[in-house]
Amino acid sequence: MSALDFGYMWSLVPILLSYVPLTLFMALVGMAFALVLASAMAVERVFRVPVLDHFVRLFISFFRGTPLLVQLFLFYYGLPQVLSFMSGINGVSATIMGLTLHFSAYMAESIRAAIMGVDRSQWEAAQAVGMTQGQMMRQIILPQAARVAAPTLVNYFIDMIKGTSLAFTLGVTELMGATQKEAAGSFLYFEAFLVVAAIYWIMVEALAFGQRHLEVYLNKAHAR
Amino acid sequence: MTSPSGIAISDLNKAFGDTHVLKDISLEIAPGERVVVIGPSGTGKSTLLRSLNFLDRPDSGTIRVGDLSVDAAKASRGDILALRRRTSFVFQNYALFANKTARENITQALITVQGKSTADANARADAILRETGLADKANSYPAALSGGQQQRVGIGRAMALDADLMLFDEPTSALDPEWVGEVLDLMRRVAEKRQTMLIVTHEMQFAREIADRIIFMDGGHIVEQGPPSQLLEAPQDPRTKAFLRRVV
């Protein structure tokens, strides 16, 4: 086994770091959309809105039941063939769309579980003081559900950051794609992929650091 | 003719599946009257209270609070909200909002339901916290309060609403014995203001002191009612006698 080419690895760092913003952009936008969609679906699942409930359950079943890569190929290569308005979709948009729909299915279930976990008597207390269902959800139930769901949701966000690497398969030159190109030029695959692995790892660790602060904040009502 | 005041409940029925819990309950409560409901457990006392603000939806009957009359069988969402806004409820297990401080528990409905300004709501909450002896706990979250303190906040939250009818569902039953006294003291102070109250409790001594009328319920019926001296000292129905022998 030959020694690692540290000089080459060091030279890759600034090149690959310049792709980090695109990775974070896809993950952050995907997460923002997924949170909104998942919360809406979770609330629907709690109240079981007639008719709509069937669609939401089908949606969750499909997007949890099929691989993310298959979904991305469906959106990028498949849908434009049957839906003309999708023909202009680019790889970044298709990736964001895939990440949003895929992860919202998982997140809906964990948010739903967190909502159901809020003590039943607090629902009743909110109703008893005359709050509407919307006021009760926004001000009493969802803030407490957020605290319970937060660790799981951060986990999904971590998964989503790593999931952006699949954009490479849609021809997007993002972090993974750029690494592949660099490696193909230098033939130093081990070094290149080691560097990109470290970059993903550091991003996730930075997030885990933020998660600890988030949890302290969300737990302030429960400190004794 | 003035608009009706007080509370009138007529022919209220509620079943859970095959179990008929409330059977044609009719009851009138005068403004300022303090009514205590006693009876064996599983006899519909809590269900009666919870039916009055639709935490448990009654199957039939009418509930009138002041000039608001609601037909249970066809109550709309708006009717239910209106009824809830004329009543307040104290829960056995306090049911404080865990993500809100003691003060916020009291101001929550004043702001979101009654539309008061934050400043007005805070002023009202602080007055109530002083009255309940919790001025120093205004910024504490429920998790940091004792059972007795939590229930005093629960009562304060209900007091703040200035409801036509305050409902108390066994407010001391979940408390450690050491906290029962302070909660009953607070309820006495509420009673002294001639607040209309309907209280389910097992605290017989307390009932004797503050009640204008005691109602004995058994098997989903109102069996017997009267002023404490009459109902507790000279009960007429054998079921009332049997119950009082067990608990007094």
Say what the pLDDT of residue A45 is.
95
Contact between chains at B81 and A132 (C-beta distance less than 8 A): yes
Contact between chains at A130 and B85 (C-beta distance less than 8 A): yes
Shortest CA gap B86–chain A (Å): 9
Q: Name residues 137-196 of chain A within 8 A of B (Cβ).
A: 139-140, 143-144, 147
3-state helix, strand, coil in chain B (%, to 5): 40, 25, 35
- Across the range B18-35, mean pLDDT stands at 94
- Across the range B117-129, mean pLDDT stands at 96
pLDDT band for position B64 (50/70/90)? very high
Q: Please check the confidence at residue A85 and state whether its pLDDT lies above 90.
A: no
Burial annotation B216-230 (CB, 10 A radius, 16+ → b, else e)? bbbebbbbbbbebee
Could you tell me the CA-to-CA distances from A198 to A8, A9, A57 in Å, in that order?
Answer: 15, 11, 38
As a residue count, chain B comes to 248
pLDDT band for position B3 (50/70/90)? low
Shortest CA gap A37–chain B (Å): 24
Sequence letter at residue B160: A
Q: Please check the confidence at residue A3 and state whether its pLDDT lies above 50.
A: yes
Say what the pLDDT of residue A215 is.
86
Interface test with A, best of B70, B108, B112 (most A CBs within 10 A): B112
* Domain-wise residue ranges, chain A: 6-222
Percent of chain B topping pLDDT 90: 95
How large is the C-alpha radius of gyration of chain B?
18
Percent of chain A topping pLDDT 70: 99
A-chain residues near B100 (CB < 8 A): 140, 221
Judging by DSSP bridges, how do beta strands B68-71 and B60-65 pair with one another?
A: antiparallel
Say what the pLDDT of residue A223 is.
67
Burial annotation A93-123 (CB, 10 A radius, 16+ → b, else e)? bbbbbbbbbbbbbbbbbbbbbbbeebeebbb
Say what the pLDDT of residue A55 is.
96
Q: Please check the confidence at residue A4 and state whether its pLDDT lies above 90.
A: no
- Contact residues of B toward A, CB < 8 A: 53-55, 81, 84-85, 87-89, 91, 93-101, 108-109, 112-113, 141-144, 157, 161
Q: Please check the confidence at residue A192 and state whether its pLDDT lies above 50.
A: yes
Looking at the domain B7-247, which fold is it?
Answer: Rossmann fold (3.40.50)
Say what the pLDDT of residue B1 is.
44
pLDDT band for position A214 (50/70/90)? confident
Q: What is the pLDDT of residues B193-236, one digit of tens each?
A: 999 999 999 999 999 999 999 999 999 999 999 999 999 999 99
Contact between chains at B157 and A129 (C-beta distance less than 8 A): yes
Rounded-to-integer distance, Cα B99 and Cα A61, Å: 33
- Across the range B100-111, mean pLDDT stands at 96
The interface pTM score, or ipTM, of the predicted complex is 0.93
- Across the range A189-194, mean pLDDT stands at 91
Rounded-to-integer distance, Cα A48 and Cα A224, Å: 36
Say what the pLDDT of residue A38 is.
96
CATH number of A6-222: 1.10.3720.10
Name the residue among A122, A139, A147 with its Cβ closest to that of B112: A139
As a residue count, chain A comes to 224
Which tokens belong to B207?
Answer: 């009932």
Q: Please check the confidence at residue B2 and state whether its pLDDT lies above 70.
A: no
Shortest CA gap B207–chain A (Å): 24
Measured in whole angstroms, the distance separating CA A172 from the mean position of its chain's CA atoms is 18
B-chain residues near A129 (CB < 8 A): 84, 88-89, 108-109, 113, 157, 161
Say what the pLDDT of residue A5 is.
87
- Across the range A94-113, mean pLDDT stands at 96
Say what the pLDDT of residue A81 is.
85
pLDDT band for position B185 (50/70/90)? very high
Q: What is the pLDDT of residues B133-172, one digit of tens each?
A: 999 999 999 999 999 999 999 999 999 999 999 999 999 9
Q: Which residue of A has its CA nearest to B111?
A: A131
Nearest-5° Cα angle at B128, B194 to A123: 95
A-chain residues near B93 (CB < 8 A): 121
